[in-house]
């Protein structure tokens, strides 16, 4: 899932980064992540590394555990600190934000550096001194108008034949050139660590010949993981429908060469129908996101743990329980998500890959500015276009943090009086 890449910069490092809707801070990769046994070009492939000791702005905060997709069994640690962040190519005039939480990591669970999109503050010691997230800091310094974004991961396969198949991230708005509009609106869940939750009503092939989901489930939309996590019975149905082979050592569904050629030729479309609830009601419009087989056509390299050769695989995973039900980046290739944290609403659309490089940038007004004549939508859209319209690709895993020996995680209060309305 590669595309045009954005850049993250400090005084000594330029890093390629990816975007996560789960986290609030920025993860940077330490230089010691590549070792002698890694393939040639390791550092470049992983987006470049961060050298904290060469950054004049670095303020170390200590070692913390990363609760990275903890429900999916991912746990690591990182060196937390404050540093300056510039969004965009150096010298482009992109905004620079100081005193931002940055995490240096060594673990290889994170392929590239990441940038958090969740606008919630973090607290390291007590509940009285929260540290603003990157989005909150951008808004507080008038670099963006609202806590919102529009995002699609883009498709590597599409980008091979269409240079506009890359991912797209618009901060404080969305790009109408990158999705097909619909009337459905979703309400964010009150659990701020799993806020973008939808009811997955059905999964089936477009010709309706295969029903792949036994019953409706609640799933989390998470750009931080690459796979789709479903009940085991659903995975078994996928395996039977597409002649996949489950490998218990890798815990993945593999595709042999013969089957791979057949699936490429058929290029079946898989339709995911989602709703606000576990059933389609008269008050909630369902949305069907269609994914071609090419979106599931992925490869493991020979340096993947437990694998010794390049292998085709199908990115579905067996969930151990309902907390693991997740639609990851595989889904985000063909879905465009618009998240409005000011109003606690979001929408999900089929992504569109234009054949020409136009943009349809639309701003999402902040609640406090709605109705103020002096702040026009056009002016806000100009801020969005000029400051922080980003184009992105690879995504990895997200983080929340806790102290290693004094475990304490701060969560922002649930806003009970938020109006459920949207400019989307």
- Residue 393 sits in the same domain as residue 244: no
- Residue 198 sits in the same domain as residue 245: yes
- Residue 55 sits in the same domain as residue 102: yes
- How many Å apart are CA 377 and CA 354, to the nearest integer? 24
CA 73 to chain centre: 18
| pLDDT, tens digit, 9 for 90 and up, residues 388-400 | 333 333 222 222 2
- Residue 145 sits in the same domain as residue 163: no
Residue 418 lies in a domain: no
Where is pLDDT greater, at 367 or 250?
250
- Residue 260 sits in the same domain as residue 303: yes
- How many Å apart are CA 51 and CA 240, to the nearest integer? 48
- Residue 265 sits in the same domain as residue 396: no
What is the SS3 assignment for 109?
coil
Residue 127 lies in a domain: yes
pLDDT band per the 50, 70, 90 thresholds, residue 23? low
For residues 346 and 153, is the Cβ–Cβ distance under 8 A? Answer: no
Residue 380 lies in a domain: no
Which residue range(s) make up the domain with 208?
159-367
For residues 230 and 216, is the Cβ–Cβ distance under 8 A? Answer: no
Residue 85 lies in a domain: yes
Residue 419 lies in a domain: no
Residue located via tokens 């085709």: 312
- Residue 20 sits in the same domain as residue 95: yes
- Residue 110 sits in the same domain as residue 165: no
Residue 417 lies in a domain: no
Domain with residue 363: its CATH number is: 2.40.70.10
Residue 395 lies in a domain: yes
When divided into structural domains, the chain yields a total of 2
Q: 109-113, 205-209, 231-235, 276-280: which range is least confident on average?
A: 109-113
- Residue 125 sits in the same domain as residue 250: no
The listed range with the strongest mean pLDDT (29-43, 96-110, 315-329) is: 315-329
- Residue 101 sits in the same domain as residue 171: no
Q: HSE of 160 in the Cβ direction (CA atoms, 13 Å)? A: 5
pTM of the model: 0.81
- Residue 179 sits in the same domain as residue 87: no
Total residue length of the chain: 424
Q: Give Cβ neighbours of residue 423 (< 8 Å, ≥ 6 apart).
A: 340, 363, 364, 365, 370
Residue 416 lies in a domain: no
Helix (H), strand (E) at residue 6: strand 6-9
pLDDT band per the 50, 70, 90 thresholds, residue 42? confident
- Residue 200 sits in the same domain as residue 117: no
The pLDDT of residue 109 is 64
pLDDT over 80 (residue 113): no
């Amino acid at each position: 899932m590669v595309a045009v890449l954005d850049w993250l910069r400090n005084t000594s490092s330029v890093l390629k980064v990816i975007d996560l809707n789960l986290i609030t801070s920025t993860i940077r990769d330490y230089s010691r992540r590549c070792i002698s046994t890694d393939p040639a070009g390791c550092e470049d492939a992983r987006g470049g590394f961060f050298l904290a000791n060469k950054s004049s702005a670095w303020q170390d905060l200590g070692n913390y555990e990363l609760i990275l997709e903890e429900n999916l069994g991912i746990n690591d640690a990182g060196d937390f600190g404050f540093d300056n962040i510039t969004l965009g190519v150096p010298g482009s005039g992109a905004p620079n934000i100081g005193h931002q939480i940055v995490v240096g990591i060594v673990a290889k669970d994170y392929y590239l550096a990441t940038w958090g999109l969740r606008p919630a503050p973090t607290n390291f010691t007590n509940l009285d001194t929260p540290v603003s997230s990157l989005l909150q800091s951008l808004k507080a310094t008038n670099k963006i108008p609202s806590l919102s974004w529009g995002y699609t991961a883009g498709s590597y396969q599409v980008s091979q034949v269409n240079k506009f198949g890359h991912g797209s991230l618009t901060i404080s708005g969305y790009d109408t050139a990158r999705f097909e509009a619909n009337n459905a609106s979703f309400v964010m869940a009150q659990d701020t660590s799993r806020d973008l939750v939808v009811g997955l009503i059905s999964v089936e092939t477009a010709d309706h010949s295969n029903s792949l989901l036994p019953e409706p489930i609640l799933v989390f939309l998470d750009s931080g993981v690459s796979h789709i996590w479903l009940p085991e019975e659903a995975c078994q149905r996928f395996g039977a429908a597409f002649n996949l082979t489950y490998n218990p050592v890798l815990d993945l569904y593999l595709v042999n060469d013969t089957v791979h050629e057949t699936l490429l030729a058929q290029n079946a479309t898989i339709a995911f129908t989602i709703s606000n609830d576990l059933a389609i009601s008269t008050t909630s419009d369902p949305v069907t996101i269609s994914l071609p087989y090419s979106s599931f056509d992925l490869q493991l390299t020979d340096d993947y743990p437990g694998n010794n050769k390049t292998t085709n695989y199908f990115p579905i995973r067996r969930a151990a329980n309902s907390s693991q039900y997740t639609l990851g980046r595989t889904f985000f290739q063909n879905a465009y998500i618009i998240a409005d944290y000011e109003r606690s609403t979001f929408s999900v659309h089929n992504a569109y890959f234009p054949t020409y490089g136009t943009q349809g940038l639309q701003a999402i007004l902040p609640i406090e500015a709605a109705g103020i004549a002096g702040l026009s939508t056009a002016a806000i859209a100009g801020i969005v276009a000029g400051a922080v319209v980003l184009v992105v690709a690879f995504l990895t895993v997200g983080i929340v943090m806790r102290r290693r020996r004094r475990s304490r995680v701060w969560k922002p209060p649930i806003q009970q009086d938020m109006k459920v309305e949207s400019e989307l």
